[in-house]
Structure 1
């Protein structure tokens, strides 16, 4: 089975996903008129606006923190170490590339999720790829297919990845049995997910900034402590990214390919741009200013924070510690722990374990929220099914702490690729709508007025929208 999964991964990630992700990112960069760069002067204002509460949904900041909670997980620690082990330091460069072009892809999918959202029976906005596939494309079957993929991924597989990393970290740091870790994590997950999407969002809006800041500050301290080595580390990243170091030995093609594959694979698992997960959180927001593109811009910040800031913080710790040793014998998270121990002392392993608990727990909780959202798309009154989903999530957290890591990562990579392919097909088909939203938003910004989406200006789109989503806004 591991060999078969490895073969499938090689096909998906050896060429298909790299070309598809890169092409989609470049396409939406042009279609949105380079919005990830043109929005830089407005990022501070967008963050300030994201705190404004509006009726019918979460604040944009809550939606951002909720999506960041899912993004910022074991992939930011274990995934970075595995990327370096598989593709060399150059993999970090390609992770940065996935973030820069992925910001445009994230803008596209999150803007569409906002546009095609709809209020549920409790007045809470819901939406995501399944909704824009059904409403925007008129292809409910595609929405059903995507929802099934997401339920498998976020209700089952990804939670095993998170639990597995936590269990290995606590065993390495404190010699804590995996079954104990899994049990405590499962119970904590059940308690929090019972509070629903609003309760989870309120928790994430303070938990995510704190845990991210702790890890970034720790990395900055290490970097300052070893500042003399930083120029060599960055030189190594860029040289390895293009195989310059290995060119003389005739290994250019293999090294470049490995760096590309590892960087794109782990980068996407971390920032989730294009995968179709983040739009589930973006749609839940009552965006302010009241324009779908405003939430798309806010969610771009999440991609930047996740990969450019947090993943780079992890990479600096791993690379400053020197060679990874024999990565085949230890898990990705243990590589990070060993690196910090080498740099700072024995306390480093415990610190990484504590950070990972926060990262993984927040991811598991939001993974459930994503899965529940798509369960509601499939069956709006799924009360019994929700309890079945909750039981499955808790069970897989427990089981995941005992599974072998390579098998878990391989399954995660396959289901991630299937989700991404389905979602990217949908947003590429809807790219004229993305372009229209981006132009309408930037036009109003250029005029110096607060962007407001007036659906009556676009009759074809207006006919696809859910009642109560955009028809009560002030007109321009």
Structure 2
């Protein structure tokens, strides 16, 4: 068993090695310049579009609800545990490379969500379906790549990000902070997941639309409290992030030191893991949006990466750095908990905030990935397979309390990386479609604006 685990770790390191990270970031760089720095030039317009109701167009949920569904899957343990892991491995400089990956990743997220709306279809139940499997089949013309993506993504939903890591994060937090037995938490969690997910995308989007903004705001306020209380160290922390990105991070305290390459790799890998730009998950939620323009939905969807990494991961990272928690012997959630305890000067309030944040972020991630898995099942087996899938998914959520999951997590990480490959092939193959749709939209937008000005 130990040999199997070691082999899987080797495969995992290969899958998430420099070639895939370069391809991911490279795709983002290509779209950034091909689309005229769209994530910088049009970010203000994209943020305005989030709250603007679409009066026309087809879809199952509002653009805001679709964004919240996508964010429910991305804002999770990666924002709390993933950032801590990146900084523990690569030093403060990892946060800089996380920013860089996110900025270019916004262009990738724009492109994949644009394509999701352009190539979406209606299923037998009258619901919108879309995502990489649809633009791979109907845009690229490859059924094989479409099936490959759907199988890998279903694996991630059932055995990866969608279940076990999130379930264990919730059970650990409720046991450590509130003394609730793991089996009790697992049963309550399974009932809650069933209650929300059996109602489909409308039910998931309704819960995500309330929980995600509320929890994100509360977590940001908690981080801001630490930053304000330790404002005298903030500039030094930011300076340390930038200088460490381009120099060897020396060993200090419990930190073992890190090379520039390690800072780059850990920052980019954890950044991508957190915001999922290029993985192909968010397009499945974007396809359900009520919109009359694939470009508008692409713009709205790219803000997800901005909120996830540029705002929330940055808040966590700066909290870890200016409190000095990154130099200690702790890692993961324990390291973030220590940072809040130190920053707020409270051994009870800090850990409580991290635990509550973990519980809600992990819960919404389960909901988001349940929906992604459902979309893959519909593509592979049709709408009749949805109920059996949901029953299996609930069984997996419940079983999370009883499993020793080291090996399963490594398998999940491998499948997570593998689903990226067909998606990136699709993005590169359809790059001209993305460029043409973007150009056409902004040309007509300028024409309409000039016409409006002329009649005034």
Q: TM-score, normalized by length of structure 2?
A: 0.91
**Aligned ranges 1:256-335 → 2 under 5 Å:** 256-287=260-291, 290-324=292-326, 325-327=328-330, 332-335=332-335
Verify: 1:68 aligned to 2:71, yes or no: yes
Verify: 1:193 aligned to 2:164, yes or no: no
8 Å contact kept, 1:156–1:393? no
Q: Distance in 2 between matches of 1:403 and 1:261?
A: 30
**Aligned ranges 1:403-442 → 2 under 5 Å:** 403=403, 407=407, 409-442=409-442
- The equivalent of 1:126 in structure 2 is 129
Q: 1:254 to 1:340 in 2, by over 3 A?
A: closer
Q: 1:112 to 1:182 in 2, by over 3 A?
A: same
Q: 1:220 to 1:148 in 2, by over 3 A?
A: same
Q: Distance in 2 between matches of 1:5 and 1:339?
A: 33
Q: Distance in 2 between matches of 1:401 and 1:308?
A: 33
Q: Distance in 2 between matches of 1:3 and 1:43?
A: 45
Q: 1:210 to 1:408 in 2, by over 3 A?
A: farther
**Aligned ranges 1:367-406 → 2 under 5 Å:** 367-382=369-384, 385-403=385-403
- The equivalent of 2:352 in structure 1 is 350
Instruction: Give the C-alpha shift of residue 175 in structure 1.
Output: 3.5
Q: Distance in 2 between matches of 1:320 and 1:180?
A: 37
- The equivalent of 1:104 in structure 2 is 107
Q: Distance in 2 between matches of 1:62 and 1:53?
A: 16
Q: 1:342 to 1:52 in 2, by over 3 A?
A: farther
SS of 1:77's equivalent? helix
Q: 1:409 to 1:220 in 2, by over 3 A?
A: farther
The number of residues matched between the two structures is 438
8 Å contact kept, 1:50–1:298? no
- The equivalent of 1:339 in structure 2 is 339
Q: Choose 181-190 or 133-142, whichever is displaced more.
A: 181-190
Q: Distance in 2 between matches of 1:396 and 1:92?
A: 33
Which of 77, 82, 104 is 1:79 aligned to?
82
Instruction: Give the C-alpha shift of residue 246 in structure 1.
Output: 4.7
- The equivalent of 1:184 in structure 2 is 188
Q: Distance in 1 between matches of 2:401 and 2:448?
A: 53
Q: 1:255 to 1:404 in 2, by over 3 A?
A: farther
Structure 1: tracts of 5 or more residues without a match: 248-252, 451-476
Q: 1:334 to 1:388 in 2, by over 3 A?
A: farther
Instruction: Give the C-alpha shift of residue 194 in structure 1.
Output: 0.6
Q: Distance in 2 between matches of 1:318 and 1:352?
A: 12
Instruction: Give the C-alpha shift of residue 418 in structure 1.
Output: 0.3
Q: 1:245 to 1:146 in 2, by over 3 A?
A: closer
Which of 5, 8, 20 is 2:8 aligned to?
5
RMSD after superposition: 2.1
Structure 1 residues 5-60: Cα deviation after superposition (integer angstroms, max 9, x where no partner) = 22122222231121111111111112222211121241343123256575442111
Structure 1 residues 231-273: Cα deviation after superposition (integer angstroms, max 9, x where no partner) = 11111211222225459xxxxx961121112111111111010
Q: 1:82 to 1:411 in 2, by over 3 A?
A: farther
8 Å contact kept, 2:115–2:135? yes
Q: 1:104 to 1:50 in 2, by over 3 A?
A: farther
- The equivalent of 2:142 in structure 1 is 139
- The equivalent of 1:472 in structure 2 is none
Instruction: Give the C-alpha shift of residue 376 in structure 1.
Output: 0.5
Q: TM-score, normalized by length of structure 1?
A: 0.87
Q: Distance in 2 between matches of 1:48 and 1:40?
A: 14
8 Å contact kept, 2:249–2:258? no
Q: 1:335 to 1:181 in 2, by over 3 A?
A: farther
**Aligned ranges 1:2-41 → 2 under 5 Å:** 2-41=5-44
- The equivalent of 2:365 in structure 1 is 363
Instruction: Give the C-alpha shift of residue 83 in structure 1.
Output: 1.2
- The equivalent of 2:254 in structure 1 is none
Structure 1 residues 428-466: Cα deviation after superposition (integer angstroms, max 9, x where no partner) = 11111111111112212333449xxxxxxxxxxxxxxxx
